[in-house]
């Protein structure tokens, strides 16, 4: 036995810890009850032993001396950074009292339940919000709910389901499974998946396919490791993805590269799509997108005539103007080329064994809670009256309208927030000042987190300590397989599993739940019934199980009646076909066909403005060392990515008098932030690129600094307003007009409310 450790445990990873969307396998090494090493599990079918830097640095995360380990309540003014340790009983009693008071006076809709990314929080937060009775679930701060939701809803309008690139991830034997075929081409669209774990999809899967013969087409404003290895690189103008997709559809139809049998049998509205796409000639697409027409033609032909081929897409699609329509157009590509629901193409991604861990879309909520409940929450859910998508698809609120309502109290007052896995002031919130004012306007804010951050320091009244992934039980059914996350040691201090925190509060708000569940594992057992295992049995089985046949096993499910609830062949759309012309959108009074919309501030929409702000800031460049606003306090990770940078073409930088390593100011009417210049020869001369979520934890935590959030956070410069006719999408994080200058000695970039333009559109 090694002297370095005395036991090794196997589990599935999900947050808190690495921060990501999770699903990989880990071997966790203990000395006593202390985690001393973490490695990837080579036996795990998804990750196959791979581990990101954040997982490898987990020992520094879980054992960090600044972890929040006990419940805290604010004892000074908000922003003073003064908190006092309290007991769990006092913390939960206080939350229960305040939320029941709001419910009695203003209704349960007066509390917004806020999550961050799609980590292991959707289910427990939904469970709590609906137990309390609130219809208002949100990624507050994320303009347009512009993460995943527009892609999901847009593709559902077309083929009735969430669809992903097939890299053999649905089979336990992976690449050796005889049912799978390697994609001939993979279009990597608006993402660099090798630097993260996006939405349950691993970047190394694409590399594995490349090793087996897949060629790449990369569509991205930024040059990436994958673009350097692509057969075709379409370096496009930020926000122009919809025009590219429609231009590709036009080329496919005009050159008859589409699958005629599939189109005739399974597609609705082909002729109408043909007419719409004809508007997007190669010449027009080149003008709109910066992509040379020859490269557009060659890349489109390669994809459409090399079957099977797949498309993997990323979050910048969600941040397009009219993002749901962009998602519709891209979805149409895999449908008309016959690359849908086939080996090596794009396949419907269903929950393992058909399990919906959290009822997030309208049909799931209807099935779980009933018609009266859905009707009731839509009467009060923010944005449901204005946007049919919000009332009928994925049941999140419209966050831009929510922040306005928090400030105005119209049409009804918002009195409190429950914020879990979201450092919105340090991470995703467009227009920090507006969101800061809105949260300061609340009577009571609860934040559940692992570390103090700009959000806890600025607005929290109660802070609850969350347990890390090795300290908690949970299950994961996000695609297949069904997996168990098991508690390997007791949490440090008094930290608690997010599930246990929310479960206890839910039982307090809805005593009927006590008749059904005595502990959270009872809920897990209920969800896992289709697998034939209880939670404990799944652990004993090895931690995961694949469905042998059924709804989560891919290929030709539309022919077998596995994509519709009525069991009939076809797709989960009103016509039962792929709807290239959406009858659902037509019924809602929306354009039934995909179309392109120009970014609200751009060289085409506001040419005079671009003379004042000649560069386009693309925010959100991912680092493999960090997950959104997390991990800046982890020494191994920070050492390798120490500074908030701005990538810029050296020619442009030298013209501005900026050297590599200089500190500069990025600014527009809405604000300014400071960044360190990093030369990048591959950057388009019209663009600069910045990572988001920067707040150096070594800077002062209390206000007005809040760990430097207002100094470094690029989101101050982002327009905050509904950016899509669907209510989902259009957050203008990738298309921000800016100018760059050198940082002046002693220049004060200020804290909240200092020298900023209240989030309004830019002016000439």
Question: Using one digit for the tens of pLDDT, what is the confidence trace for 476-527?
Answer: 998 889 999 999 999 999 999 999 999 999 999 999 998 999 999 999 999 9
The DSSP 8-state label assigned to residue 630 in this structure reads B
Query: Is 143 inside any structural domain?
Result: no
> Would you call the peptide bond into 481 cis, given omega within 30 degrees of 0 as the criterion?
yes
Query: Is 761 inside any structural domain?
Result: no
Do 439 and 324 share a domain, yes or no? no
Query: Is 752 inside any structural domain?
Result: no
Beta-carbon contacts of residue 374 (< 8 Å; ≥ 6 apart): 362, 365, 366
User: How many alpha carbons fall within 13 Å on the CB side of residue 722?
Assistant: 18
3-state secondary structure of 298: helix
- Give the burial class of 524: count Cβ atoms within 10 A of its Cβ; 0-12 exposed, 13-18 middle, 19 or more buried: buried
The residue whose two tokens read 């959108």 is 585
Do 179 and 301 share a domain, yes or no? yes
User: H or E segment at 44?
Assistant: none
Do 153 and 112 share a domain, yes or no? no
- Extract the runs of DSSP E, i.e. beta strands, from 111-181: 111-115, 137-138, 163-165
How many helices (H) does the chain have, and how many strands (E)?
27, 27
Do 308 and 390 share a domain, yes or no? no
In contact, 562 and 568? CB cutoff 8 Å: no
C-beta atoms surrounding 643 within 10 Å: 15
Q: 427: closest CA among 115, 62, 54?
A: 115
The DSSP 8-state label assigned to residue 249 in this structure reads H
The β-bridge partners of 441 are none
Query: Is 533 inside any structural domain?
Result: no
Residue 379's CATH number: 3.40.50.740
Beta-carbon contacts of residue 315 (< 8 Å; ≥ 6 apart): 146, 147, 148, 190, 191, 198, 620
Query: Is 659 inside any structural domain?
Result: yes
Query: Is 455 inside any structural domain?
Result: yes
Do 389 and 455 share a domain, yes or no? yes
Do 568 and 650 share a domain, yes or no? no
Q: How far apart are CA 456 and CA 423, in angstroms?
A: 8
Do 575 and 641 share a domain, yes or no? no
Q: How many domains does the chain have?
A: 4
Q: How far apart are CA 509 and CA 477, in angstroms?
A: 27
Dump the DSSP string for 470-491.
Answer: GG--EEE-SSSSEEEE---SPP
Residue 644's CATH number: 2.40.40.20
How high is the pLDDT of residue 619?
A: 95
Q: 139: closest CA among 731, 757, 753, 758?
A: 731
Report CA dihedral (546, 547, 548, 550) to the nearest 10 degrees.
Answer: -160
Do 106 and 134 share a domain, yes or no? yes
Residue 228's CATH number: 3.40.228.10
pLDDT under 50: residue ranges of the chain: 1, 754-757
pTM of the model: 0.96
Query: Is 534 inside any structural domain?
Result: no
Q: How far apart are CA 16 and CA 472, in angstroms?
A: 10
Do 342 and 198 share a domain, yes or no? yes
Do 635 and 510 share a domain, yes or no? no
How high is the pLDDT of residue 211?
A: 98
Q: How far apart are CA 632 and CA 90, in angstroms?
A: 31
Q: 37: closest CA among 19, 15, 60, 17?
A: 60
Do 88 and 237 share a domain, yes or no? no
Query: Is 540 inside any structural domain?
Result: no
Q: 328: closest CA among 273, 390, 396?
A: 273
Which range of residues forms the domain containing residue 515?
72-138+358-476+482-526
Do 370 and 419 share a domain, yes or no? yes
* φ, ψ of residue 346 in degrees (nearest 5): -105, 135
- Give the burial class of 16: count Cβ atoms within 10 A of its Cβ; 0-12 exposed, 13-18 middle, 19 or more buried: buried
């Amino acid at each position: 036995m090694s002297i370095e450790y005395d036991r090794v445990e196997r589990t599935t990873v999900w947050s808190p810890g690495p921060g990501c969307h999770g699903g990989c396998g880990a071997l966790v090494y203990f000395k006593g009850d202390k985690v001393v090493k973490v490695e990837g599990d080579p036996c795990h079918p998804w990750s196959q032993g791979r581990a990101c830097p954040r997982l490898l640095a987990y020992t520094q995360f879980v054992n960090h001396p600044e972890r929040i380990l006990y419940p805290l309540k604010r004892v000074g003014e908000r922003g003073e950074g003064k908190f006092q340790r309290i007991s769990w009983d006092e913390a939960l009693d206080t939350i229960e009292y305040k939320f029941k008071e709001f419910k009695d006076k203003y209704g349960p809709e007066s509390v917004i339940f806020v999550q961050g990314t799609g980590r292991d929080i959707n289910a427990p937060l939904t469970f709590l919000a609906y137990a309390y009775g609130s219809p208002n679930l949100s990624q507050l701060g994320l303009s347009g709910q512009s993460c995943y939701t527009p892609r999901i809803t847009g593709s559902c309008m077309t083929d009735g389901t969430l669809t992903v690139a097939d890299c053999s991830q649905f089979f336990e034997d992976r690449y050796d499974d005889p049912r799978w075929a390697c994609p001939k081409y993979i279009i990597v669209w608006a993402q660099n998946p090798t630097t993260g774990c996006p939405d349950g999809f691993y970047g190394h899967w694409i590399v594995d396919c490349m090793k087996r013969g897949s060629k790449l087409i990369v569509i991205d404003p930024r040059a990436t490791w994958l673009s350097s290895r692509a057969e075709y690189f379409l370096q496009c103008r930020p926000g122009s993805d919809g025009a590219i997709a429609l231009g590709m559809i036009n080329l496919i139809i005009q050159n008859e590269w589409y699958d005629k049998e599939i189109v005739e049998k399974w597609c609705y509205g082909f002729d109408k799509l043909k007419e719409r796409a004809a508007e997007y000639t190669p010449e027009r697409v080149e003008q709109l997108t910066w992509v040379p027409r020859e490269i557009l033609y060659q890349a489109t032909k390669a994809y459409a005539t090399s079957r099977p081929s797949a498309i993997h897409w990323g979050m910048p699609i969600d941040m397009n103007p009219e993002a749901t329509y962009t998602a519709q157009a891209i979805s149409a590509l895999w449908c008309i080329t016959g690359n849908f629901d086939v080996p090596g193409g794009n396949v419907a991604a269903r929950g393992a064994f058909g399990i919906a861990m959290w009822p997030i879309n309208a049909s799931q909520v209807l099935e779980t809670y009933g018609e009266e409940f859905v009707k009731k929450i839509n009467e009060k859910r923010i944005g449901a009256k204005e946007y049919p998508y919000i009332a009928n698809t994925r049941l999140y609120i419209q966050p831009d309208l929510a922040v306005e309502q928090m400030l105005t109290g119209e049409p009804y007052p918002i009195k409190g927030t429950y914020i879990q896995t979201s450092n919105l002031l340090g991470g995703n919130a467009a227009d920090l000042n507006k969101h800061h004012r809105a949260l300061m306007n609340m009577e009571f804010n609860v934040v559940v987190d692992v570390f103090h951050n700009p959000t806890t320091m600025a607005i929290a009244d109660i802070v609850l300590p969350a347990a890390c992934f090795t300290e908690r039980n949970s299950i994961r059914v996000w695609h297949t397989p069904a997996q168990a996350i098991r508690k390997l040691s007791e949490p440090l201090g008094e930290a608690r599993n997010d599930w246990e925190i929310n479960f206890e509060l839910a039982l307090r708000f809805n005593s009927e739940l006590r008749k059904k569940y005595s502990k959270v594992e009872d809920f897990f057992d209920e969800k896992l019934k289709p697998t034939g295992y209880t939670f404990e049995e799944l652990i004993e089985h090895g931690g995961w199980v694949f469905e042998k046949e059924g709804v989560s096993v891919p290929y030709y499910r539309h022919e077998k009646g596995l994509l519709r609830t009525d069991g009939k062949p076809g797709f989960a759309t009103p016509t039962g076909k792929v709807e290239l012309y959406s009858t659902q959108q037509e019924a809602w009074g929306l354009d039934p066909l995909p179309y392109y919309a120009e970014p609200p501030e751009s060289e085409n929409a506001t040419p005079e403005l671009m003379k004042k702000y000649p560069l386009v800031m693309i925010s959100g460049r991912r680092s493999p060392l960090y997950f959104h606003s997390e991990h800046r306090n982890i020494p191994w990770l920070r050492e390798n990515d120490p500074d908030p940078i701005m990538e810029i073409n050296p020619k442009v930088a030298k013209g501005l008098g900026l050297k590599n390593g200089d500190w500069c100011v990025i600014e527009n009417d809405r604000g300014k932030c400071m960044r360190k210049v990093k030369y990048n020869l591959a950057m388009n001369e019209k663009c600069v690129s910045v990572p988001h979520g920067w707040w150096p934890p070594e800077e002062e935590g209390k206000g007005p600094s809040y760990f430097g959030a207002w100094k470094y956070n690029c989101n101050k410069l982002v327009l905050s307003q509904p950016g899509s006719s669907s209510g989902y999408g259009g957050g203008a994080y990738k298309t921000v007009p800016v100018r760059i200058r050198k940082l002046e000695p002693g220049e004060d970039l200020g804290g909240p409310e200092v020298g900023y333009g209240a989030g309004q559109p830019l002016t000439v």
